Amino acid sequence: MRSRALAAMVTMGLLLGGFGLTTPATAQEDMPKAEAQVPAEKLGRGLHNTILGWTELVARPQAEAEEKGAVGVVTGLVNGVATGTVRTVTGAAEVATFWSPLPVKYQPPVKEPASPWDRR
């Protein structure tokens, strides 16, 4: 029983290790300095967007209402749902792939503001 469990663990380790070796490698030196990604920055941005993406549901209508009045609440709510969904999904993807420098010319889909709290 023990040898069978050990064999299963070794097999899984080899399979998972093999999958990690099959990912394409990109040298940081080959990338332009402005586009080089630091894994810690990608992880931080991903965690921030994953955890706080839902706040767009509040921040967007508030910002739109200040600019356009009552009509802005409706447009802000629609924009907030869309932007919040994009932030949350891309944040989760960045957390899952923060260790990888790929894609090489990656830019987050929501650039301005970088955070819902930067609007204030």
Sequence ranges of the domains in the chain: 33-119
Of 52, 42, 36, 41, nearest in space to 116 by CA: 52
What does the block give as tokens for 4? 């069978």
pLDDT at 45: 86
Of 96, 92, 87, nearest in space to 114 by CA: 87
pLDDT at 12: 65
pLDDT at 34: 45
Of 120, 96, 89, 33, nearest in space to 110 by CA: 89
CA angle, residues 53, 34, 88, in degrees to nearest 5: 10
pLDDT in tens, the chain (120 residues): 677 776 776 676 666 555 554 545 554 445 445 445 688 888 888 899 899 988 988 888 998 999 998 888 999 999 999 989 999 998 898 899 888 876 667 677 776 665 656 654
